[in-house]
Amino acid sequence: MEKDLEYVLSEKFLRDFTVRFSLFRLALILIIFVLLEAVWLGIIPQINYFIENQYLYIIFFVCGFGLNLIYLLTWNKFKSAYYFVYLQFISDIFLAFYIIFLTGGLKSSLFFLILVTIFLYGKILGLRTSIYFSALCVLIYLIVGIIQFKYPFIWQENSFSLSNFFFYFILNFLSLFLINLLVYFSESREKSLFNELISQEIALSRSEALKKSIFDLMESLVFVLEPEKNIIISLNQKALYFLGLKHLSLALGRSISYYNKELSNIIEANKKDKKKF
């Protein structure tokens, strides 16, 4: 699996992925920043289950912007594309859970960050990785829920009922299940398209090989020329031998007059007479 991913995750893909996902991450962080700033300035009514310590939010934004900068500057330093993407996945999961913890724990409206992260990375790293990280998210979410149930005052609440605990936990568990289902269907479709593409490539290669073998077995000299300047586009083995060449690459792109002036004159004469050669 890892070797296959190393083959697929080329340098160009890795660069494009890092830039695009960094921009996406930056956009999400900016949206969260604007919303929180609106709450702090009183533009949006205060949400009573947010943790009030603003320094904790500053840590989130510093880490978020810092990770973006680090990934953009170091993507080409990693020898393993697989581990680089994996590292981003882990950091984004924990960054998302950090802001979820600050903005209400199980009540947080930002749980969608986890869903988006698992879906996007799951499409690249595969369903198995998506399931493993979903299980990790369930475990972390369970721990957050237990903390919230035991110590609701952290979120400025007097109590957090058991019914609320099960409601939010089951709701988000189902959302994780559905996201993995989407990853599964997406992966199945991509595999199907990939297999179709491979089948077409194999069929095309066989067709080309068959055509070439027939082309080379012909007893006649066969030249495929560019009509204006008689540039050689292709030729069979007999024609190659006639020109005294061993490799096809030596003939391609040159005028036939370069190798055989007499043959070139015959071709030109036939052109003038409008006869097929």
pLDDT tens digits, residue range 230-275?
A: 666 666 677 776 777 766 666 677 777 776 777 777 777 777 665 5
Please check whether residues 128 and 48 belong to one and the same domain: yes
Which residues, other chains included, contact 153 with Cβ-Cβ below 8 Å and sequence gap of 6+? none
Q: Among residues 155, 182, 198, which one ends one of the domains?
A: 198
Q: Among residues 150, 165, 198, which one ends one of the domains?
A: 198
* Amino acid at residue number 205: S
- Tell me which of 11 and 257 has the higher pLDDT: 257
Q: Round the average pLDDT of the chain to a whole number and report it.
A: 77
pLDDT at 2 over 60: no
pLDDT at 7 over 80: no
Domain count, the chain: 2
pLDDT in tens, 75-123: 777 777 777 888 888 999 999 999 999 888 888 888 899 999 998 888 8
In a domain? residue 185: yes
- Tell me which of 214 and 28 has the higher pLDDT: 28
- Taking 3-state DSSP, the helix, strand and coil percentages for the chain, each rounded to the nearest 5, stand at 75, 5, 20
pLDDT at 8: 47
Please check whether residues 11 and 99 belong to one and the same domain: yes
In a domain? residue 214: no
Q: How confident is the model at residue 143 (pLDDT cuts 50, 70, 90)?
A: very high
Please check whether residues 184 and 245 belong to one and the same domain: no
CA distances for 185 relative to 172, 198, 204, angstroms: 20, 20, 29
| CA 31 – CA 218 distance, rounded (Å) | 69
Strand partners, 224: 234
Q: How confident is the model at residue 46 (pLDDT cuts 50, 70, 90)?
A: low
Residue % of the chain over a pLDDT of 90: 13
In a domain? residue 30: yes
Please check whether residues 62 and 166 belong to one and the same domain: yes
In a domain? residue 242: yes
Please check whether residues 11 and 76 belong to one and the same domain: yes
Please check whether residues 157 and 254 belong to one and the same domain: no
In a domain? residue 188: yes
pLDDT at 219: 58
In a domain? residue 215: no
Please check whether residues 256 and 135 belong to one and the same domain: no
Residue % of the chain over a pLDDT of 70: 67
In a domain? residue 213: no
> Taking residues 203-230, what's their average pLDDT?
61
CB 277 within 8 A of CB 267: yes
Q: Which domain holds residue 159?
A: 2-198
Please check whether residues 34 and 80 belong to one and the same domain: yes
What's the Rg (C-alpha) of the chain? 32
> Model-level pTM greater than 0.75?
no
